[in-house]
């Protein structure tokens, strides 16, 4: 992640034991929060916590909450998120949300406890190959072998996490490396600077933008933050190009006064229409657009045939400087970027549908809100309903591994206690990491959770409808059905300590949202809505 304030990594002093040194090193490098569910192999870390009171350890009931919260924290704090996990199984439980963080290029440092260095050879029950599991998500993996090297290893992990680009770094810490004394200070290293984009690349892309073809600019990563958006919008204004955002941004700044961008849609038929007719596409911090899944007989790429593609700013480069250089090359510094005017949907009325819930969100969304969006199919109307809301941040399901939205809301609320967090959750996704609610209650986080309870895995329903040659039978349908029995989120929230209510009309919902947002601390609102109709055109390519 770029623009990290805490990036200078300080030297650490001689410490009593490894665990203390590790925490001190993390804190001195700017990591002051870790999300955890510890076990016996981490007990020395736990015991050392009170000797470094700057470290806030946040308990989660399940590691998937911890890793998702570290991701959400990093997205909003612009500093690495950190976890403390219990051996291979603890890491395993956190893997899905680490996958999401990896895909989002979010810096996360995992500290994974392991058996003492001499204990694993006896093959005790919790022994497993942690490094192997870690590699699925981590660009950097190391097992610390000596207490004297633990501080250095921790600084290396932080450096790796910061990148650029941001990535997941996993440091495995055997119990004896934690408990032994004699930890030593480590020399700090300057964070790596993002690479500069060559003048040639800038010139080639400036030329492409000037030549009058139908051109789109696809923004991703840090290009979706204010400075990047403003530069991109000047380029768009000066050259008549259209701005798009990647389908699932880690953090999109949007709302009144910011340049609006059209997010690519999830469904390949719809995304293909958005890009239809483009003769040139410029990637800025975004990957080549591709369908989420493959379909028989269909292309994976979403780039129209014959469309020329340029990459302005690859992952490890400085997106903002690249955009500024392009503004300069195009002489666009005085161009007036298009900015989003205020617009609010009409307050919805009557019996609830998913679309009306989205409109109600648009009506109430407060200034400075952080939205964690995992509403999946029920959230189709959210971008339109909220685009003219006061300025806010939009965090999405970056890697497609569901169960991310509630944990990300936990982390975002801890990173930014000054801002209201709204978590928009599909029922199926919420149930993956429902334990998040308890951490919201314990930490009294200012999160309003809205559960879109459509009692189905809606996305699979659409996919099953595609397979029209195979008429789905009872067994197949039962695997998409979240009714029988119906899940009552009001009870689940109550059991986990979060005040909750279910609303049945749009008017009740708007009122409940306003009250929840006004009242600090966590709240959950459950709405039961019908599944949306399939958005795939019947005559479409699927």
Where in 489-518 is the site for a copy of itself (CB under 8 A)?
A: 489-492, 494-497
What's the rounded Cα separation, in Å, for the pair 160 and 494? 41
What's the rounded Cα separation, in Å, for the pair 134 and 124? 20
Q: Indicate whether 164 belongs to the interface with a copy of itself (CB under 8 A).
A: no
Least distance from C-beta 195 to a copy of itself, angstroms?
A: 20
Nearest alpha carbon to residue 109 among 73, 76, 133, 145:
73
Q: Which is nearer to a copy of itself, 21 or 49 (CB)?
A: 49
Among the listed ranges 120-128, 320-328, 367-375, 408-416, the one in contact with a copy of itself (CB under 8 A) is 120-128
Q: Indicate whether 53 belongs to the interface with a copy of itself (CB under 8 A).
A: yes
Restricted to residues 421-440, the positions that interact with a copy of itself (CB under 8 A) are 428, 431-432, 434-435, 438
Sequence-separated (6 or more) residues with CB below 8 Å from residue 231: 320, 323, 324, 326, 327
Q: Indicate whether 50 belongs to the interface with a copy of itself (CB under 8 A).
A: yes
Among the listed ranges 165-173, 249-257, 374-382, 456-464, the one in contact with a copy of itself (CB under 8 A) is 456-464
Least distance from C-beta 527 to a copy of itself, angstroms?
A: 16
Q: What is the DSSP string of 481-518?
A: B--SSPP-HHHHHHHTT--EEEE-BHHHHHHHHHHHHH
Least distance from C-beta 498 to a copy of itself, angstroms?
A: 8
Restricted to residues 185-244, the positions that interact with a copy of itself (CB under 8 A) are none
What's the rounded Cα separation, in Å, for the pair 204 and 448? 47
Restricted to residues 27-46, the positions that interact with a copy of itself (CB under 8 A) are 36, 38-41, 43-44, 46
Q: Which is nearer to a copy of itself, 305 or 475 (CB)?
A: 475
Q: Indicate whether 55 belongs to the interface with a copy of itself (CB under 8 A).
A: yes
* CB-based burial label for 314 (10 Å; 0-12, 13-18, 19+): middle
Restricted to residues 344-383, the positions that interact with a copy of itself (CB under 8 A) are none
Helix axes 226-239, 199-210, angle to 10 degrees: 50
Contact assessment for residue 216 and residue 275, using Cβ atoms and an 8 Å cutoff: yes
Q: Indicate whether 452 belongs to the interface with a copy of itself (CB under 8 A).
A: no
What's the rounded Cα separation, in Å, for the pair 159 and 153? 10
Q: Which is nearer to a copy of itself, 151 or 451 (CB)?
A: 451
Indicate the Cα dihedral angle 131, 132, 136, 138, nearest 10°: 20
Q: Indicate whether 270 belongs to the interface with a copy of itself (CB under 8 A).
A: no
Q: Could you tell me where the DSSP H helices lie in 443-488?
A: 458-466, 474-478
Least distance from C-beta 232 to a copy of itself, angstroms?
A: 22
Q: Cα 446 from chain centroid?
A: 18
Among the listed ranges 70-78, 110-118, 375-383, 506-514, the one in contact with a copy of itself (CB under 8 A) is 110-118
Least distance from C-beta 43 to a copy of itself, angstroms?
A: 5
Cα dist from 285 to 81, 83, 101, 221, 464, whole Å: 21, 27, 16, 5, 34
Total site size for a copy of itself, rule CB under 8 A: 105
Restricted to residues 288-317, the positions that interact with a copy of itself (CB under 8 A) are 288, 290-294, 296, 300-301
Other CB atoms closer than 10 Å to residue 351's CB: what's the count?
11
What's the rounded Cα separation, in Å, for the pair 255 and 229? 12
Least distance from C-beta 51 to a copy of itself, angstroms?
A: 8
Q: Indicate whether 265 belongs to the interface with a copy of itself (CB under 8 A).
A: no
Q: Indicate whether 24 belongs to the interface with a copy of itself (CB under 8 A).
A: no
Contact assessment for residue 450 and residue 527, using Cβ atoms and an 8 Å cutoff: yes
Report the DSSP pairing between strands 370-374 and 215-219.
unpaired
Owner of token pair 């810096």: 107
Least distance from C-beta 37 to a copy of itself, angstroms?
A: 8
Q: Which of 287, 340, 505, 515 binds a copy of itself (CB under 8 A)?
A: 287
Among the listed ranges 92-100, 195-203, 308-316, 362-370, the one in contact with a copy of itself (CB under 8 A) is 92-100
Q: Indicate whether 165 belongs to the interface with a copy of itself (CB under 8 A).
A: no
Restricted to residues 61-80, the positions that interact with a copy of itself (CB under 8 A) are 61-62, 64
Restricted to residues 387-416, the positions that interact with a copy of itself (CB under 8 A) are 398-401, 403
What's the rounded Cα separation, in Å, for the pair 501 and 143? 47
């Amino acid at each position: 992640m770029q623009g990290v304030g805490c990036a200078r990594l300080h030297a650490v002093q001689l410490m009593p034991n490894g665990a203390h040194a590790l925490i001190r090193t993390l804190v001195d490098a700017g990591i002051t929060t870790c999300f955890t569910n510890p076990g016996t192999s981490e007990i020395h870390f736990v015991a050392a916590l009170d000797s470094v009171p700057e470290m806030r350890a946040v308990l989660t009931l399940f590691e998937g909450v911890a890793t998702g919260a570290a991701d959400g924290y990093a997205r909003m704090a612009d500093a690495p998120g950190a976890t403390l996990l219990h051996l291979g199984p603890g890491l395993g439980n956190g893997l899905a949300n680490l996958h999401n963080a990896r895909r989002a290029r979010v810096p996360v440092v995992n500290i994974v406890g392991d058996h003492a260095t001499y204990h694993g050879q006896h093959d005790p029950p919790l022994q497993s190959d942690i490094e192997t599991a870690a590699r699925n998500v981590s660009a950097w993996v190391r097992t610390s072998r000596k207490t004297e090297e633990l501080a250095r290893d921790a600084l290396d992990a932080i450096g790796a996490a910061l990148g650029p680009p941001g990535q997941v770094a996993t440091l495995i810490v055997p119990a004896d490396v934690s408990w032994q004394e004699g930890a030593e200070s480590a020399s700090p290293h300057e964070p790596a600077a993002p690479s500069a984009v060559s003048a040639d690349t800038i010139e080639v892309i400036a030329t492409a933008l000037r030549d009058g073809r139908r051109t789109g600019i696809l923004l991703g990563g840090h290009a979706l933050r204010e400075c990047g958006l403003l530069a991109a919008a000047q380029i768009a204004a000066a050259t008549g190009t259209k701005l798009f955002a990647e389908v699932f941004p880690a953090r999109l700044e949007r709302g009144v006064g910011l340049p609006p961008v059209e997010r690519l849609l999830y469904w390949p038929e719809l995304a293909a229409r958005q890009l239809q007719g483009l003769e040139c596409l410029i990637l800025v911090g975004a990957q080549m657009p591709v369908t989420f899944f493959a379909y028989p007989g269909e292309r994976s790429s979403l780039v129209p045939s014959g469309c020329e593609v340029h990459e302005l700013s690859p992952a490890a480069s400085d997106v903002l400087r690249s955009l500024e250089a392009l503004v300069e090359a195009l002489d666009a510094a005085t161009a007036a970027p298009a900015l989003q005017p205020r617009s609010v949907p009409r307050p919805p009325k009557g019996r609830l549908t998913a679309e009306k819930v989205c409109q109600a969100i648009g009506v109430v969304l407060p200034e400075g809100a952080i939205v964690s969006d995992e509403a999946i199919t029920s959230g189709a109307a959210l971008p339109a309903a909220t685009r003219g809301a006061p300025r806010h941040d939009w965090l999405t399901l970056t890697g497609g591994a569901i169960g991310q939205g509630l944990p990300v809301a936990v982390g975002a609320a801890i990173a930014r206690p000054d801002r209201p967090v709204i978590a928009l959750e599909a029922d199926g996704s919420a149930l993956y990491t429902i334990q998040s609610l308890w951490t919201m209650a314990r930490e009294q986080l200012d999160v309003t959770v809205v559960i879109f309870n459509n009692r189905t895995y809606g996305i699979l329903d659409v996919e099953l409808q595609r397979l029209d040659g195979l008429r789905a039978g009872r067994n197949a349908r039962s695997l998409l059905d979240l009714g029988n029995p119906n899940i009552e989120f009001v009870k689940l929230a109550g059991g986990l300590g979060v005040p909750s209510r279910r609303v049945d009309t749009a008017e009740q919902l708007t009122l409940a949202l306003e009250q929840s947002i006004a009242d600090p601390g966590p709240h959950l609102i459950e709405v039961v809505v019908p599944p949306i109709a399939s958005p795939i055109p019947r005559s479409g390519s699927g």
